[in-house]
Structure 1
Amino acid sequence: MIDTQRHRALGTASRVSILDIVKAADGGVTIAEVGERTGLHPSTARAHLDRLVGAGLLVKARASGGQPGRPAWRYRIAIADAPAPAPYRALAAALLDHLSRRTAGDVRAEATRAGQDWGRHLAAVTPPGEDPTDVLLGVLRGLGFSPRLHHTDAGRTEIHLHTCPFLELVNRNPDAICNLHVGVVRGALEHAGAPPAGAVVEPFGASDACVVRLTMPEVDPRDRRRPPVDADPR
């Protein structure tokens, strides 16, 4: 059966060309980048990109690199990911509905606070790990993010999220759902005894994943096995 919405979204040569540009770009593209490559006015490029988002062909999020402020939207190809467990999707959808009815306050800040409460709860019911990173990985696995631990050449710890189990909700309110994830990460770390501010979630931070960047100190595996030293042997 033909997906009518997607078929219509690809009914112009401009949108087909834009889709090809996004497919070829590691980490997605901004409206300005599409305009530069196609010659389209930014408002026209935005309209085409958002039409592709509405058809489920692209997803968008604000990729900030961990910097403050409100960065530009970045668009990338939508990958058909495995959904989160139904209760989690229902909870996230209810939160989005609640936030969409509010007219005052910062939606991103409210979503982060709600996610932090949720992250603490999820960490409390996740089997304990040897350090906060293990706890966070357990929470993210339980939600369906398919997380993978990475260590950079600069000695930093990252967790790459290779699936988005809430993909069908992202395009309803990207700011809210992405910041909900920020809160979940920080809440899980806080419950595990790590400073929550030591985590930054970067949408599209890698070509095939969103990235959680951690700045907390790591524990040497040898220290976990070493028995405590008794200062007084008597």
Structure 2
Amino acid sequence: MPETQLHGPKPGGAEPVAPMSKARAAVLERLRSSDGTINVEELAVATGQHSNTVREHLEALVANGFATRTTSVSTGRGRPAWRYAPAIAETSPRGYAALAAALAAQIAATSEKPAAAGELAGRRWAHALQDTPAISTHSATVDRAFRARVAAELAEAGFGIQGNAAATDFTLTTCPILGAARENPEVVCAVHLGLVKGLMEGSGMAEDDVELVPFAGPGACTLHLPSVPAT
């Protein structure tokens, strides 16, 4: 899977981690589809991977904030086995997430420039979401109003978002199509970047200064919006 960095981190920001391998993503997806907690052996059978390999994936998922672990009830001698559960989940219905994954895979397989195609799709998504006219007056009041509107649109689209209207950096804590993002980050993260750029059209903000850092922290991405230039 190719490395993905969209308008990479601003100076002093956190470095994005490499996108998850398909083998590790398979463990995470199986973890999310299970009812309750699940142990290493059960995941090894479900994914067709060796238990030692699955254990390494699970430890990495826990370390990066994508999974949690608890000890199982002891039934005799020896150390109780670890049982695992997902730390975060997708916010979209399963069918919608599967469709998003299929579309992202199609773009990745057929487009000469998958990231550019994804960004264009994101802009079209933004145009479909917007039902209010673009904001074009440059002022601190309008700046806050615009940021609040972007945050509200992202939340309505299924993102978990932290940051107030005066913030420059927002934390995206959940993703409506997280599984698709892990399978084809070059496409899906570009869609999300295009969504933000589409929402900010007419704001006076410089689009080239928008930064989306995938997986900048445990279980979250970082979105940086530039300030509206002073008049």
Contact 1:123–1:191 at 8 Å: present in 2 too? no
Gaps of 5+ in 2: 1-33, 68-83, 136-141
Q: Distance in 2 between matches of 1:179 and 1:117?
A: 12
Deviation at 1:203, TM superposition (A): 0.8
Aligned to 2:22: none
- Tell me the TM-score normalised to structure 2 length: 0.57
Deviations 1:26-58 (A, max 9, x none): 699xxxxxxxxxxxxxxxxxxxxxxxxxxxx9x
Aligned to 1:232: none
Aligned to 1:177: 188
Asked if residue 157 in structure 1 is aligned to residue 171 in structure 2, the reply is no
Moved more, 205-214 or 174-183: 205-214
Moved more, 172-181 or 155-164: 155-164
Gaps of 5+ in 1: 29-56, 58-76, 220-234
Which among 209, 221, 230 is matched to residue 210 of structure 1?
Answer: 221
Relative distance call for 1:109 and 1:16 in structure 2 (3 A) is same
Aligned to 1:79: 88
Structure 2 letter corresponding to 1:167:
L
Deviation at 1:17, TM superposition (A): 2.7
User: Number of matched residues?
Assistant: 168
Residue pairs, 1:46-125, within 5 angstroms: 79-83=88-92, 92-93=100-101, 95-96=103-104, 98-102=106-110, 104-124=111-131
Aligned to 2:11: none
Q: Distance in 2 between matches of 1:161 and 1:118?
A: 18
Deviations 1:89-127 (A, max 9, x none): 58745642541451x521011111221222233233599
Which among 6, 11, 15 is matched to residue 54 of structure 2?
Answer: 15
Relative distance call for 1:91 and 1:124 in structure 2 (3 A) is farther
Deviation at 1:218, TM superposition (A): 8.2
Deviations 1:42-94 (A, max 9, x none): xxxxxxxxxxxxxxx9xxxxxxxxxxxxxxxxxxx77323216977x587456
Contact 1:116–1:184 at 8 Å: present in 2 too? yes
Structure 2 letter corresponding to 1:13:
N
Q: Distance in 1 between matches of 2:209 and 2:146?
A: 11
Higher relative contact order (CA 8 A, sep 6+): 2
- Tell me the TM-score normalised to structure 1 length: 0.56
Q: Distance in 2 between matches of 1:199 and 1:150?
A: 17
